[in-house]
Chains A and B, each alone.
Chain A
Amino acid sequence: MTTLALRSQVAVARRQLLAKRGRTLAGLIGIAAAFLLVLALNAIFAGIEGRLTGYINRSGADVIVAQAGVQTMHMTQSALPEEDARAIAAVEGVALATPILYKSVFIQRDDKSGVVALLGGAPIPGGAHTPTGRGIVIDEALANQLGVRIGGTVTVLGTDLRVTGEVTGTAAISGSFAFVARPTLARLLQAQGLASYVLVRARPGTSASALAKRINGSVPGVTASTREQFAASERRVVGDMSTDIVRAMTFIGFVIGVAVAGLVAYSVTLTQLRDIAVLRALGLTARRALALIGAQVASMILGGFVLALTLVLGLAALAPTLSPTLVLSVQADDVLHVALVAGAVGLAAALVPIFRVVRVEPASVFRRSS
């Protein structure tokens, strides 16, 4: 068959699909919904990961030092004696070593509350001044959620703190960051003389990985990680929590996708069996008849995938206006992953129609249609 004949075949496949627009559109929406489920979930978890590591990435630290064996802030505890911070500062290549305290706490105002990663003595991204005394800097989204403005009061660990500033871009579904002076948090935690982490800035010309290695070698009882290593560990925390959920939803999305795509492809094929018999009688080979059905299923899957991708990108753009804590981050890896799932859905959905088409006898064109 010539290329032009093949093009004509694709045109026939398209026209047959569009002959029943309502059914095709319903199928397309169903398939898109299945893919959207997976894409949106991946984007939500990627958004959470982005926000969780957002502070680390914007902190300006080249190396983060924690208690031995600790490489994350979330879901862990780290405590270092203050003299470790001094020992770290003395390591060759260290330009600045900032001991900070960290605690995941509830922040309250009247009957409203939110979860924050409370940092004591940490640099604040965006240039807000580090609070002193009983001051606290919170995320703008949290301030809106609590209904508090600069000058207002919130309660942390049973102590009233005054909001002295706001930051943006740290709020996620899982919580946001808040900043106080280190002595304030030390008093609240009764952790005087302790640090949770030491944020280290390297001298110019000193690589972060070499410095981390040097700190690990010269200060006992600590684990020094480069910013990238630390952020990767943080992402793994979310990953460990979300992988099973994402996998489950991917599987559900796959099953729904196969069911919808298969049903649409099957119903479209059933209504075309007579036409396929006619085309076979007119000279279409069995292989090309299968390609005809394959082209239809592929069009549906591709259409559903593109629609789902468009919707998730639209949602990602709209999400911050709907809720500052809702961040959808569409990652190329995730899109590729869903594209592969879509391919598998297409193959699975095409199986039953293909079996039906294989059994079509060209001689059946002489049977009377009812």
Chain B
Amino acid sequence: MTDPLVQIKQLWKVFGEGETRVEAVRGIDLELGRGEVVLVMGPPGSGKTTLLSMLGGLLRPTSGELWIDGVDITGLSERELAGFRARRFGFIFQDFNLLQALSASENVEVALNLGGTSGAQADARAAELLSALGLERRIGFKPEQLSGGERQRVAVARAVANHPALILADEPTANLDSRRGAETMRLLRQLANEEEATVLIVSHDERLRGIADRVLWLEDGRFKELAGLVTDPVCGMRLEPDQAVTLVREGVTHYFCAVGCRDQFEREHVDDTDTLEGYPHPRRRT
């Protein structure tokens, strides 16, 4: 990749010591290109949020390098990091995280102010962004007066207000219905295309694969090759074949994340001739 926006080298994050030591992120290497949309998926507790927090300059890594647009942000002071976050990053959250006391426009203006734009210029930019996102009639509304989709669009407007180089989105479609979710997905792709912003999305939503240039699988604090993973047919979770519960049915091996998913699969595809490898068959157990 030529001139990547983000370069992560041997990034580690360790919480606690001794018996309470948890290696949340374990020596990750990653590069993200400009304008690229990357989807990071993985099971709960795999280190996605920790990685996102470190990438956003909200959490200091234990070791490793984290270069954003030529700046190793691990070496920045708290104050420098705050300024860097304001100008170079945009955040989109699952819960939207809008300030309830402020109007839609003011929520966007706060981000602009922190990024160094103020007064009439900030007013105009906020109005322009909200109008572009179809919220021109909602500019003065408080978040509680907006629908979930509208709130997420305000959050998107806030995230892109300072023309960030990197947009970090945490489960951006989780609290939205399918139509609003699709709309947000389209927006994120559009941002990457038009603003040349790199978008890193952490999500469980398979639909987001549709807009991603790359999909990464994070598990146990490391990226794993998606090609080598199998999918649980019941819950859709990605699994390493050698750690999955398996069921061979009509000569085909099925992989499950847990016995529960396998049992559910069995109930839906009853066949006494099935052979279960490694685990007693539920019917035979009785």
A311 interface contact, C-beta 8 A = no
Least CB distance from B100 to A in Å reads 7
Contacts of A18 in B (CB 8 A): 101
Contact B114 A284 (CB under 8 A): yes
Contacts of B49 in A (CB 8 A): 366-367
Contact A365 B97 (CB under 8 A): yes
Total number of B residues with any Cβ neighbor in A under 8 Å: 35
How many pairs of residues, A versus B, come closer than 8 Å at their CB atoms?
88
Q: Of the candidates A15, A283, A287, A368, which one forms a contact with B114 in the assembled complex, judged by CB atoms under 8 Å apart?
A: A283
Contact A15 B102 (CB under 8 A): yes
Contact A285 B79 (CB under 8 A): yes
Residue among B59, B86, B93, B97 having the largest count of chain A Cβ atoms under 10 Å: B97
Residue of A nearest to B162 (CB): A283
Q: What string of 1s and 0s marks CB contacts (under 8 Å) between A276-287 and chain B?
A: 001111111111
Q: Which positions 90-144 of chain B face chain A at CB distance < 8 Å? A: 91, 93-95, 97, 99-102, 106, 109-111, 113-116, 118-119
Contacts of A76 in B (CB 8 A): none
Q: Which positions 1-33 of chain A face chain B at CB distance < 8 Å? A: 1-2, 4-5, 7-9, 12, 15-16, 18-19
Main secondary structure of the interface of B (DSSP, over half): helix
A239 interface contact, C-beta 8 A = no
Main secondary structure of the interface of A (DSSP, over half): helix
Contacts of B213 in A (CB 8 A): none
Contact A8 B118 (CB under 8 A): yes
Cα separation A12 to B111 with both chains bound (whole Å): 12
B56 interface contact, C-beta 8 A = yes
B65 interface contact, C-beta 8 A = no
Contact B113 A365 (CB under 8 A): no
Contacts of B119 in A (CB 8 A): 4
- Further pairs besides A18-B101, A281-B85: 11, Cβ < 8 Å: A5-B113, A15-B101, A282-B114, A283-B86, A286-B78, A363-B58, A365-B93, A366-B49, A366-B53, A368-B94, A368-B95
Q: Can you name 20 A-B residue pairings with CB atoms under 8 Å?
A: A4-B119, A15-B101, A16-B101, A19-B101, A275-B100, A278-B99, A279-B110, A280-B82, A281-B91, A282-B85, A282-B111, A283-B84, A283-B111, A286-B82, A361-B59, A362-B58, A362-B85, A363-B58, A366-B93, A367-B49
List A residues at the B interface (Cβ < 8 Å).
Answer: 1-2, 4-5, 7-9, 12, 15-16, 18-19, 274-275, 278-287, 361-363, 365-369
